Structure 1
Amino acid sequence: MSASRYTFWVLILVVAIAGLSQGLSIPLLAVLLEQQGISSLVNGLNAAALYIGMVLISPFMEIPLRKLGYRTTIICGLVLVTIATALIPLFSHLAVWFVLRFLMGVGDSALHYSSQMWVTKISSPETRGRDLSAYGLAYGVGFSAGPLGLNLLPLGLWVPFGMLLILYAVGFFLLARMKNDYPEVIVQTEKKENKYATVLRIGWLALIPSFLYGFMETSLNGSFPVYALRTGISLEWVSIILPSFVVGSILLQMPLGTLSDRLGRKRVMTVCAIIGGIAFFLFPLSGENVWFMMLLLAIAGAAVGSFYSLGLAFAADILPASMVPTAGIIAAINFGTASILAPNVNGVLMEWWEPWTIFWLMGASLLVFAAACLAASRGTAQKQQVPLPLEK
């Protein structure tokens, strides 16, 4: 196995561990707070600390990445997550947990951003979609498996946290055996332009999917239970309906990535956005038919569940390699911002209009994105060979 493929598979395993960590820690802490009698509102605000950490640190992640390299930045993120995980069982105060979850968000952001950028760098243009889809698949599988760790809680408070610490140790061991690498250096020219402005000007279309995916994921996880209760669906059914979206995305994550390598990212995302938008528009028609709900969410998940990885691959296609880390920063900010906005926007929609309007909003957003893809110049499908920063 070549060094680059070994690096790729180690990163895949590490991100699966990170996904499992998030998939377990979010519901685990929610359950522990519920057992303490904490209100659902405060519980949700405490959980938001994770995303706040991600959003606030994201604009600064490119600095350590370029100075320390991919591996060192990943290790620093894993250290933060490990420390926070080890300290959580020692405290029960809300303020302390808020700080620790904030640190987990910072660590997760460093880990995911660096590993995504590393996978993007070592992947060839011919396999970039497939490789980034494998990355997204690994995270999705880990995140989906995470809640199973709740079954360890009856064995003792430390047991699920101890399992996570063991997995982190495996990650440290694998990372220690890898050689560090660095992003390509940005070559300055006489006529300067802010690198973020350059990336937004060239890759704006490729950066929209990260926002859309963050909004959809948080809407389904955070707002759908409220929608279900207001439309007479039990929480037991919610726990069965929601995974349909994840299952759908897992099933087509790799096939869509491979297809995008052959047909082009923009074309694949356009079709997927139309299918996902139609599925969300049809969702209110399901009424209380939970099987129809599961089918529609599975279709939507299959269509748009790989949007983040496809968008990042598209950005790598149309941007010079030295600017891809900057695009990753913007994508991470988009995802985190959407994750914070979604519960508030959906709350207003459900309070002032009908609960089902949250699905129409997601559907309309996807169809608008599809229209933008169709309207965009075909020239963005080819990598732009220009000096950086670019002239306006």
Structure 2
Amino acid sequence: MTTRSNSFLFVTLLLVVAIAGMSQGLTLPLLSVLLDQDGVSTVANGFNAAALYIGILIVSPLMEIPLRKFGYRTTIFIGLTIVTISTLLLPVFRGLAVWFILRLLIGIGDVALHYAAQLWVTAIAPLEKRGRYLSIYGFAYSAGFSFGPLGMLLIDFGIWAPFLAISVFYATAFLMLARLKNAHPDAIDSTTSGQNRYLDVLRLGWLALIPPFLYGYMESALNVNFPVYAVRSGLSLDWVSIILPSFVVGSLVLQMPLGRWSDRVGRKKVMVLCAVIGAICFLLLPLVSSNVWALIVLLALAGAFVGSFYTLGLAYAADILSPGLISTAGAFASIMFGIANIIAPNVNGYFLSTSVPGLMFYVLGGMLALFVALSFGFRRGKQPLRQEEKIPHLM
């Protein structure tokens, strides 16, 4: 593949993931607030939001099959089609049951899109720049996610307005995807083609799977539960649409520097430091729940340091696992992300119904602190690939 075509491929993948992030950044908080205004309980609201991640969890273990059969581009195209149609049907039907089904479908399409795009980026990234490439990928997703909640400001023009606006971006993504040549991952070699690859990933790289879980828990807590928490704390929906993106905007500031730094000093050291700072920020959040600017600052700081946890964890998995296990690790990361996003809305929905709603942030801070403690006991079972080794396409 020429440098020019490789660059266009990378830019297209960045655009697609940015639009996917924008869609999630809009629909997660918007639907939560609309359901809350309809009088839906916080527990039912959280369960409805979890449908997205139930879809992710259902299909993540199976994603290697269509990826190997249809290739990267086709898998992304299928995922984007499902996400687009399901998202545009949300304003057509309004109700818990229908939205649950549509969000389930969005989750299925989303995991297909992200799984193929992440591994395609990993495939084209030079080994010594893997962290940088994946951090740029994460930057694109975060940028789209931070822009998404601003679509809630269009709700004054009708429920259709935000969804019609995002449809323009969907059309752009389809046009750019159509110009790409399809590609397939390399075949699994005989040493990694057994039925215990998930067990091997879990045994050798369990620490690398915790960051995707933590990122999923944070994403769901902030985009599903925080809007309800903020509105009940006396903040207006307009303020929520401004405060909410601060976490993702913060991640944009350090996303790429952290990726480059992790290439030099090691993924684990960077993640531990970031987890410590993130834990402190989340533990302080309940103490400033009525102070808009303090919320913005703390969420921005938390985002700056832990907003790149998913991509750092994926890059760490690629560092410590053999090439034949990388795609399995990617699927496992999606599973962990989905599990976290199913748990978080329901657990935090319960916390919001108690007399101590800020407990959701204390738990989140405690989880980051636990990751730091566990990291000191982790010993990887395999040395990372040497710089001079040829970077595999996937396997």
Band the TM-score falls in, shorter-chain normalisation: 0.7 to 0.9
The secondary structure found in structure 2 opposite 1:39 is coil
Q: Does the alignment pair 1:344 with 2:343?
A: no
Supply the AA of the counterpart residue of 2:262.
S
| Distance of aligned partners of 1:26 and 1:331 in 2 relative to their CA distance in 1, 3 Å threshold | same
Q: Does the alignment pair 1:270 with 2:236?
A: no
Name the CA distance, whole Å, in 2 between partners of 1:224 and 1:85. Answer: 22
**Shift, 1:347, TM fit:** 4.3
**Shift, 1:158, TM fit:** 4.3
**Shift, 1:288, TM fit:** 4.3
The correspondence for 1:100, drawn from 99, 102, 105, is: 102
The correspondence for 1:53, drawn from 50, 55, 68, is: 55
**Shift, 1:131, TM fit:** 1.1
Deviates more, 1:26-35 or 1:270-279: 26-35
Name the CA distance, whole Å, in 1 between partners of 2:151 and 2:12. Answer: 23
Who is 1:388 aligned against?
Answer: none
Who is 1:115 aligned against?
Answer: 117
**Shift, 1:188, TM fit:** 2.0
Name the CA distance, whole Å, in 1 between partners of 2:350 and 2:155. Answer: 36
Deviates more, 1:178-187 or 1:237-246: 237-246
Question: Which aligned pairs between 1:139-288 and structure 2 lie closer than 5 A?
Answer: 139-155=141-157, 157-189=159-191, 192=194, 194-225=196-227, 227-228=229-230, 232-235=233-236, 238-286=240-288, 288=290
Query: Conserved in 2, the CA contact under 8 Å of 1:269 and 1:307?
Result: yes
The correspondence for 1:375, drawn from 374, 377, 380, is: 377
**Shift, 1:341, TM fit:** 0.8
| Distance of aligned partners of 1:284 and 1:143 in 2 relative to their CA distance in 1, 3 Å threshold | closer
**Shift, 1:271, TM fit:** 1.1
TM-score (norm 1): 0.87
Name the CA distance, whole Å, in 1 between partners of 2:303 and 2:216. Answer: 13
The secondary structure found in structure 2 opposite 1:181 is coil
**Shift, 1:101, TM fit:** 2.1
Who is 2:365 aligned against?
Answer: 363
| Partner deviation per Cα, 1:220-257 (whole Å, 9 max, x = no partner) | 23333455567x55345544443332221111111111
Who is 2:10 aligned against?
Answer: 8
Deviates more, 1:305-314 or 1:349-358: 349-358
Name the CA distance, whole Å, in 2 between partners of 1:38 and 1:353. Answer: 19
Q: CA RMSD in A?
A: 2.8
Who is 1:131 aligned against?
Answer: 133
Deviates more, 1:10-19 or 1:22-31: 22-31
Deviates more, 1:112-121 or 1:219-228: 219-228
Who is 2:298 aligned against?
Answer: 296
| Distance of aligned partners of 1:174 and 1:239 in 2 relative to their CA distance in 1, 3 Å threshold | closer
Query: Conserved in 2, the CA contact under 8 Å of 1:183 and 1:325?
Result: no
Name the CA distance, whole Å, in 1 between partners of 2:269 and 2:292. Answer: 32
Query: Conserved in 2, the CA contact under 8 Å of 1:184 and 1:321?
Result: no
Supply the AA of the counterpart residue of 1:51.
Y
| Distance of aligned partners of 1:164 and 1:354 in 2 relative to their CA distance in 1, 3 Å threshold | closer
Deviates more, 1:179-188 or 1:347-356: 347-356
Q: Which runs of 5+ in 2 are unaligned?
A: 390-395
The secondary structure found in structure 1 opposite 2:190 is coil
Identity of aligned residues (%): 56
TM-score (norm 2): 0.87
Name the CA distance, whole Å, in 1 between partners of 2:134 and 2:376. Answer: 24
Who is 2:335 aligned against?
Answer: 333
**Shift, 1:157, TM fit:** 4.8
| Distance of aligned partners of 1:368 and 1:380 in 2 relative to their CA distance in 1, 3 Å threshold | farther
The secondary structure found in structure 2 opposite 1:126 is helix
